[in-house]
Amino acid sequence: MKIQRFVRLGLVAGAVMLLAGCWERPPVEMVQHGYRGTGMAQVYNPRTLVKQQDLNKVPVALPAAPAEGPKAKEIYKNVQVLGDLSVAQFTRLMASMATWVSPNDGGCVYCHNPANFAEDSKYTKVVARRMLQMTQYINANWQQHVAETGVTCYTCHRGHPKPQDQNGQMAYWYAAGDPAHKGGMLGWRDGQNEPAYSVGAASLPNEPFSRFLLGDSNIRVQSQHALPMAKSTQDIKATEWTYGLMIHMSKSLGVNCDYCHNSRAFSSWPQSAPQRVTAWYGIRMVRNLNNEFLDPLKPVYDADDLGPKGDAPKLFCATCHKGAYKPLYGQSMLKDFPELSKPSTDGKPLYPAEGKPAAEEQKVAAAQ
Ligand code: HEC
Ligand code: HEC
Ligand code: HEC
Ligand code: HEC
**127-185 residue pLDDT tens:** 999 999 999 999 999 999 999 999 999 999 999 999 999 999 999 999 987 766 555 66
Report CA(207)–ligand 3 centroid distance (Å): 17
pLDDT tens-place string over residues 323-334? 999 999 999 999
The answer to the question of residue 16 being in a domain is no
pLDDT tens-place string over residues 276-333? 999 999 999 999 999 999 999 999 999 999 999 999 999 999 999 999 999 999 999 9
pLDDT tens-place string over residues 72-130? 999 999 999 999 999 999 999 999 999 999 999 999 999 999 999 999 999 999 999 99
CA distance 288 to 294: 10
Report CA(213)–ligand 3 centroid distance (Å): 14
Q: What is the pLDDT of residue 47?
A: 83
| Residue 172 CA: distances (Å) to CA of 150, 175, 197, 283 | 20, 11, 12, 15
Q: Is residue 131 in contact with ligand 4, taking CB distance under 6 Å?
A: no
Average pLDDT score, the chain: 84
The answer to the question of residue 239 being in a domain is yes
pLDDT category, 221, cuts 50, 70, 90? confident
The answer to the question of residue 23 being in a domain is no
Report CA(101)–ligand 2 centroid distance (Å): 8
65 pLDDT above the threshold of 90: yes
Q: Tell me if 69 sits within 8 A of 313, measured CB to CB.
A: no
The answer to the question of residue 2 being in a domain is no
Q: Is residue 245 in contact with ligand 3, taking CB distance under 6 Å?
A: no
Q: Is residue 333 in contact with ligand 2, taking CB distance under 6 Å?
A: no
pTM: 0.90
Residue 175 has, within 13 A of its CA and on its CB side, a CA count of 22
Number of domains in the chain: 1
The answer to the question of residue 39 being in a domain is yes
The best mutation among 155, 211, 272, 321 to test binding of ligand 4, ranked by most ligand atoms within 8 Å of the C-beta, falls on 321
The answer to the question of residue 84 being in a domain is yes
The answer to the question of residue 7 being in a domain is no
Q: Is residue 255 in contact with ligand 4, taking CB distance under 6 Å?
A: no
Q: Tell me if 88 sits within 8 A of 66, measured CB to CB.
A: yes
Q: Is residue 242 in contact with ligand 2, taking CB distance under 6 Å?
A: no
The answer to the question of residue 68 being in a domain is yes
Pick the ligand that lies closest to the CA of residue 252: 4
Q: What is the pLDDT of residue 182?
A: 59
Report CA(189)–ligand 2 centroid distance (Å): 33
Give the domain extent around 70. 28-367
Q: Residue 183 maps to which CATH number?
A: 1.10.468.10
